[in-house]
Structure 1
Amino acid sequence: MKALFIKYKSVLKFILTFLLVYIGLSVIYKLYLNASVGSQYYPDYVTNLVAYQSEALLNTIGYSTEVVKHPHEPSMKLLVRGKYIARIIEGCNAISVIVLFISFVISFSGKFKSTVLFLLSGSVLIYVVNLIRIVILSVGLYHYPWRSEILHTVVFPAIIYGMVFLLWMLWVNRFSNIGKKNG
């Protein structure tokens, strides 16, 4: 048994680090969401920000867009040219995806400075790509509402998780200690 632990030490370290960081950040995020209840930002600050930034981007590309509080649930209604297109919920703000990204990067440690810079730049990139995917989805739903299922369940996740996967591969192959050992 001891030989197995020694043989798979790096795998076990990755799994344990990943789980600890993921659970820790998830608990912090849940505390943030609980503290957001009743704040001036509906449903929470980040989701509110994502909704209004998506509105601004859609307006910039020529789609007259309005975001309003949903009267019956914690979400923001997205209206394009007066037509209700989608709702922006807490899950649309990319924070849970960023938590997953951070957990993975920390699990494959690198130099402190490169890790922090990669976490910051990667998180910003994920956030921006998330805004772009909301815009793409909104335009797609406006023009092709009958394609909502494929847009939301295939295209929408493929964009954001594809970006995260590319960042992970970049991290492991260029910056982490593992990539340096293998390269």
Structure 2
Amino acid sequence: MSEALGLRQGTLDLVPHDPFWAALFAAEVAAIRAVLPPGRVAIDHIGSTAVPGLAAKPILDIGMLASPIQQEAIAAALVGIGYIDRGERSGRLFIRLRDGDIRTHNLHLYAPNDPAFARQIAFRDMLRADAGLRDAYADLKRQIIRDTDGRRAGYAEAKGPFIEAALSLRSRDDD
């Protein structure tokens, strides 16, 4: 496992974007696909590590779409390669740890047509396409970390209004 990834459980830190994250994602997808049961499964790189130029927590976020029928077999396969099943949280959340308490991966398993997955992809794509939005989001994340002294609790919720506003503007532009 690369040292380019990982934060101690419960902590927050942002690092400059690392172009190597794309290769780490591709390698992780290959490892996951090698243990998956047969069937159609979509896997996407989501979250800040998927956005070139965006400061991010050095934890790969992976989104996976699979039918409810497939999900138990997929969960067993993921646990078999070292993921920990954390239950329902923005899809079914699985995490991977290094050295017992350093989180390196978040994998979110969604059912097809889950609006949470669609929102993840839409926001990622907006950040990739708009450097001003990307930079404003990075500034917000840094401010939240300063305001919380790097504590993980509340970080995702504090970003929520920004994400909602960006997605809302996109929806209006699509109309």
Same fold flag (TM > 0.5): no
More helix by share: 1
- Relative contact order (C-alpha < 8 Å, sep 6+): which is higher? 2
More strand by share: 2
TM-score after normalising by structure 2: 0.30
TM-score after normalising by structure 1: 0.29
